[in-house]
Structure 1
Amino acid sequence: MAEDKDSAEAIVSEVHRKISEAFDVFDHEFNKTVDVREIGTIIRSLGCFPSEGELHDIIAEIEEEEPTGYICFEKFLPTMTTVLMERRFRPIPEDLLLQAFEVLDQQKKGHLEPEELTKYLTQEGEPFTPEEMEEMMSAALDPDRNVIFYKDFVSMMSVDNHR
């Protein structure tokens, strides 16, 4: 039984180390606090991809009673440990992402026009911001044909997620 306890402690210890390293990258003052606007980047760097609504919920959970614009490590650590241990906000598998693009490509052309994708992503569900759309287009758009070959884009995103 002691081995189980030791391995569980080792796993938690490793999770704490990863969280601490990710947090420290943005702790510019070295005072165990980060700007609240960096929290999404830190969480994504840990391999978690919450929606904007989920991100706001996480921030609300760890923010001080009186929001200061900063998040302290001692509040971030237990919440993020739980998120990582429960494997929450994992990336969507490549095949599901591809299926989503195929649904949008009703003519089965193998690509989407930038205007089509922008319309879908800014007017449906949880809309992308103009900044998010610009960032996505800069990565997704084929510069020669001015279309999004989504199979290439999906595999490029999937490779990045397995760093």
Structure 2
Amino acid sequence: MSEAPGVAASSGPDEEDQREVILNNDLERRIAEAFDIFDVGNNKMCEARDVPTIMRGLGMCPTEAGVQEVIVAVEHPRIPGSVHLRHFLPVIVQAITEHRFEPAGPEELLEAFKALDVLGKGYLTKEDAVMFMTQDGEPFSQEEIDEMLELAVDPLSQTVPYEYYINQLLVEES
């Protein structure tokens, strides 16, 4: 019997977990493919800590509160810290179809950058960008900061010309 890491044999997957998960459409297949990357035991299970990565891999942008809400909804009832695809799939399908964790659009991003650029220069300094990402609102992880700065910072001026950055994001999405 396959088990989640660190889980005693008596609390392993039950009969329901052993049944095949039927994928009915392309959205469900895409979610299952993203989930399978973290299914190291090849038993349709992953660790709850992988849920935010899977969600972001599907193009979702949840807050930490949103992540916790999803984890509570999908966590295996008998194996704490584990998630079965059978529980994960309907919650994520619903979240995607309801557009619950969609990223901000280009207009919203532009307005946010303009609000931070109080002098109207058309750019933020690299230092200011890092400060805003770590000190205000929900802080970004170091990995998220590094990823954003790699694309956003002009190597010559060491600033974030935000209209150019937003256009770069749109090109990468295409």
Output the TM-score relative to the length of structure 1: 0.81
User: Residue 83 of structure 1: CA displacement?
Assistant: 0.9
User: Residue 66 of structure 1: CA displacement?
Assistant: 5.8
Cα deviation code 1:12-64 (max 9, x no counterpart): 62322221122122223211012323222221222221112211111121113
Distance 1:16 1:92 in 2: 24
Distance 1:48 1:58 in 2: 12
Q: After the TM superposition, which residues 15-34 of structure 1 pair with which residues of structure 2 at under 5 Å, given as runs? A: 15-34=27-46
Paired positions, count: 151
Structure 1 residue 37 corresponds to structure 2 residue 49: yes
Structure 1 residue 94 corresponds to structure 2 residue 106: yes
Distance 2:126 2:78 in 1: 42
Letter in 1 for 2:160: I
User: Residue 121 of structure 1: CA displacement?
Assistant: 2.0
User: Residue 125 of structure 1: CA displacement?
Assistant: 1.4
Distance 1:37 1:104 in 2: 32
Say which structure is richer in helix: 1
SS for the counterpart of 1:34 is strand
Structure 1 residue 120 corresponds to structure 2 residue 132: yes
Structure-1 residue corresponding to 2:17: none
After superposition, the CA RMSD in angstroms is 2.0
Letter in 2 for 1:43: M
Q: After the TM superposition, which residues 7-156 of structure 1 pair with which residues of structure 2 at under 5 Å, given as runs? A: 13-65=25-77, 68-156=80-168
Structure 1 unaligned segments of length 5 or more: list them. Answer: 1-11
Distance 1:115 1:42 in 2: 30
Letter in 2 for 1:95: E
SS for the counterpart of 2:99 is coil
Contact 1:43 1:49 in 2 (8 A): yes
User: Residue 109 of structure 1: CA displacement?
Assistant: 1.5
Higher relative contact order (CA 8 A, sep 6+): 1
- Of the structure 1 ranges 138-147 and 62-71, higher mean CA displacement relative to structure 2 is found in 62-71
Structure 2 unaligned segments of length 5 or more: list them. Answer: 1-23
Structure-1 residue corresponding to 2:21: none
SS for the counterpart of 2:62 is coil
User: Residue 129 of structure 1: CA displacement?
Assistant: 3.1
Cα deviation code 1:131-158 (max 9, x no counterpart): 4323322232111211111112112223
